[in-house]
Amino acid sequence: MGYFCSFTSGSQGNSGLYVSGDARILVDAGTTAKYISACLACLGLSPVDLTHIAITHCHSDHVSALPVLLKRTGARIVCSSTTYEYLNVNTKDPLLFEEGEELSLGGVTVRTAATPHDCLGSCCYSFGEGEGSLAVCTDIGAVTPEVFRLMSGSRNVIIEANHDLEMLKNGPYPYNLKRRILSPYGHLSNDDCGLVAARLALDGTSNITLAHLSRTNNRPEVAFNTVSAAMARHGAPVGALRGVAEARKMKMILEF
């Protein structure tokens, strides 16, 4: 049996596990090694069972657990060449790629695409094929044609719905931070996510999960309702929207 389980998602940390055959791929390593180890234990695993750790980019909410975690596992680091330059970790035999390349991790086909974000080397991933295919696309200021092709080629998609526009504009963040989040290299809003989710569902994506919600400028119910309303307006099957991945809350996204 294969699956993807989200361990945590949001501005405080991001991490999840994709399992298929002999491959056990940790996707990002935010929060702490202790928390990630506890999540793995709930699945009957430990850090030594990991085969790969795929990193999307080097912001701390995606890599904060990495230095300690690497002391507990022999898993191979997977990331773009540029990201690796900024990770500042001591690891043997990293698997490095240029954004847009296709890889094979333990028999799992992995596609990559560069993501527009204020972090050099940032990328998104699609794992597997057929019913077990899953795209993980967060930390994106906009959905480029390359990112959309990667998502639309997967049956299951985890996509960012970072903020509600009014909550962000009227919220406590300083002006410069608001500008950063709203820029084409910032984060995807609920409204923009809704348009993309509608296109994906109309193209055949059957399982869409929202992720990387802002703790200050969003709420799970707000994101879900905004995206589902956008899908309905565009005639997309709203049933394809399956839920929200939240902070410090394990959630089984996919089983195949």
Averaged confidence pLDDT in the chain: 97
Portion of the chain with pLDDT greater than 70, in percent = 100
pLDDT tens per residue across span 199-216: 999 999 999 999 999 999
User: Per-residue pLDDT for 125 more than 90?
Assistant: yes
Cα 109 to Cα 66: distance, rounded to the nearest angstrom:
24
Cα 15 to Cα 125: distance, rounded to the nearest angstrom:
13
Cα 129 to Cα 81: distance, rounded to the nearest angstrom:
25
* Tokens linked to 193: 């996510």
CA distances from 32 to 15, 115, 180, 208, 218 (A): 10, 25, 26, 27, 23
pLDDT tens per residue across span 58-80: 999 999 999 999 999 999 999 99
Domains in the chain: boundaries: 3-255
Helix ranges, the chain (H): 33-42, 60-63, 66-69, 81-87, 145-152, 165-169, 175-182, 190-203, 220-233
Which amino acid would we find at residue 256? Answer: F
CATH hierarchy code of domain 3-255: 3.60.15.10
- pTM equals 0.98
pLDDT at 112: 98
Please state, as a whole number, how many other Cβ atoms lie within 10 Å of the Cβ of residue 17.
21
User: Per-residue pLDDT for 88 more than 90?
Assistant: no
- Residue closest to 185 by CA, chosen among 133, 94, 118, 256: 118
Furthest-apart CA atoms within the chain: distance in Å: 50
Cα 26 to Cα 47: distance, rounded to the nearest angstrom:
9
* Tokens linked to 139: 């930390």
User: Per-residue pLDDT for 121 more than 90?
Assistant: yes
Residues for the chain: how many in total? Answer: 256
pLDDT at 90: 82
Cα 69 to Cα 163: distance, rounded to the nearest angstrom:
30
Cα 98 to Cα 78: distance, rounded to the nearest angstrom:
11
Ranking 89-93, 113-117, 187-191 by mean pLDDT, the lowest is 89-93
